[in-house]
């Protein structure tokens, strides 16, 4: 098999180099000055085989070894911990950033990341000013996404309703069993699309909009809202960071949705095989639990 060991690949490369050298040294008199077109063709073909053998010898996956001259500009919906944000030393980090960086690097693609408000991302996508989205986390404009190429799922995101845990005495007394019934004032993220078939926002007496999940956790814990609706990962991450992880609970799952990389269809069509390479890398990372381990690292605050 081609993937067996570095020694076999290096021996194969050495043999081909010897063969090329033999052809060159044994060429006849009139071919010695420039070589026949056949000789040059053979040499060029064998040189490519040597390059392939050297790739095998270094253990690089063959299907992703071809360097792609692609440098993309991708957008993220502002900074949302723990998906995409800047660490204390100014470096871009986060669950989605790490996963996509690993995926696109293995697929032979470089990218620059820009953070914009959601409405501006929609406008720039429509104008062709962006090559796509880092991921669909924090951005769920269905009309804009329908016009993009979407990768295989990186992981599944769940949007849920959270409340502050009731006191033990209240739970034992049977108070608040229908917890959503008592959720009259709800906290939500500003700019996030809450149009889900299973969610009726008219059920709530009032809606409080905030800019981030950290604010949602605080409003919930301080009793400023009865419940909060947002994605599980970001809410529980902020609850753990603030020391409230054991004080909040999920009372209803609103929707499960896949988190994907979204790219311009024109870009994908112009770069044949790009979609396949990206999806193959994603499946490989998932099969080796690379993506799960990245998520666990952040939720346990191991990235800080």
Q: Is 65 within the bounds of a domain?
A: no
Q: Is 267 within the bounds of a domain?
A: yes
Asked if 253 and 163 sit in the same domain, the reply is yes
Asked if 291 and 144 sit in the same domain, the reply is yes
Per-residue pLDDT of the chain (304 residues; tens, 9 = 90+): 333 344 444 443 444 444 344 444 444 444 444 454 444 444 444 444 444 444 444 444 434 444 457 999 999 987 788 999 988 888 999 999 999 999 999 999 999 999 998 889 999 999 999 999 999 988 878 889 999 999 999 999 999 999 999 743 454 455 555 667 789 999 999 888 898 998 999 989 999 999 889 999 999 999 999 999 999 999 999 999 999 999 999 999 999 999 999 999 999 999 999 999 999 999 999 999 999 999 999 988 866 5
CB 259 within 8 A of CB 156: yes
Count structural domains, the chain.
3
- Specify the DSSP class assigned to residue 96: H
Maximum C-alpha span of the chain: 103
Q: What is the CATH number of the domain that holds 96?
A: 3.40.190.10
Q: Is 288 within the bounds of a domain?
A: yes
Asked if 141 and 267 sit in the same domain, the reply is yes
Quote the pTM value: 0.70
Q: Is beta strand 185-189 parallel, antiparallel or unpaired with respect to 155-164? A: unpaired
- Specify the DSSP class assigned to residue 210: E
Residue 213's nearest CA partner among 184, 182, 244, 183 is: 244
Asked if 264 and 182 sit in the same domain, the reply is no
Residues in the chain: 304
CB 225 within 8 A of CB 208: yes
Label residue 174 exposed, middle or buried (CB < 10 Å: 0-12, 13-18, 19+).
exposed
């Amino acid at each position: 098999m081609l993937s067996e060991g570095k020694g076999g690949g290096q021996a194969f490369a050495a043999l081909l180099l010897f063969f090329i050298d033999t052809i060159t040294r044994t060429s006849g008199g009139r071919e010695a000055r420039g070589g026949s077109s056949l000789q040059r063709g053979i040499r060029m073909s064998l040189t490519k085989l040597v390059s392939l053998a050297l790739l095998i010898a270094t253990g690089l996956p063959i299907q992703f070894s071809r360097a792609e001259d692609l440098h993309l500009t991708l957008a993220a919906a502002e900074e949302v911990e723990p998906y995409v944000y800047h660490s204390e030393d100014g470096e871009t980090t986060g669950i989605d950033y790490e996963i996509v960086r690993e995926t696109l690097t293995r697929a032979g693609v470089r990218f620059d990341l820009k953070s914009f408000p959601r409405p501006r991302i929609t406008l720039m996508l429509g104008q062709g000013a962006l090559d796509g989205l880092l991921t669909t986390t924090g951005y769920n404009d269905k009309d804009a996404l329908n016009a993009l190429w979407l990768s295989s799922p990186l992981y599944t995101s769940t949007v849920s309703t959270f409340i502050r845990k009731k006191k033990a005495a209240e739970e034992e007394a049977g108070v608040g069993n229908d917890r959503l019934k008592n959720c009259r004032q709800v906290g939500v993220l500003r700019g996030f699309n809450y149009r889900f078939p299973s969610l009726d926002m008219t059920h709530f007496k009032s809606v409080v909009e905030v800019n981030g999940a950290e604010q949602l956790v605080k409003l919930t814990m301080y009793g400023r809202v009865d419940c909060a609706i947002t994605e599980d990962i970001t809410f529980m991450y902020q609850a753990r960071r603030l020391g409230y992880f054991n004080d909040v609970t999920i009372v209803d799952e609103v929707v499960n949705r896949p988190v994907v990389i979204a790219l311009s269809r024109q870009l994908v069509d112009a770069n044949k095989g790009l979609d396949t390479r990206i999806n193959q890398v994603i499946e490989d990372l998932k099969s080796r639990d690379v993506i799960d381990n990245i998520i666990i690292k952040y939720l346990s605050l191991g990235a800080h």
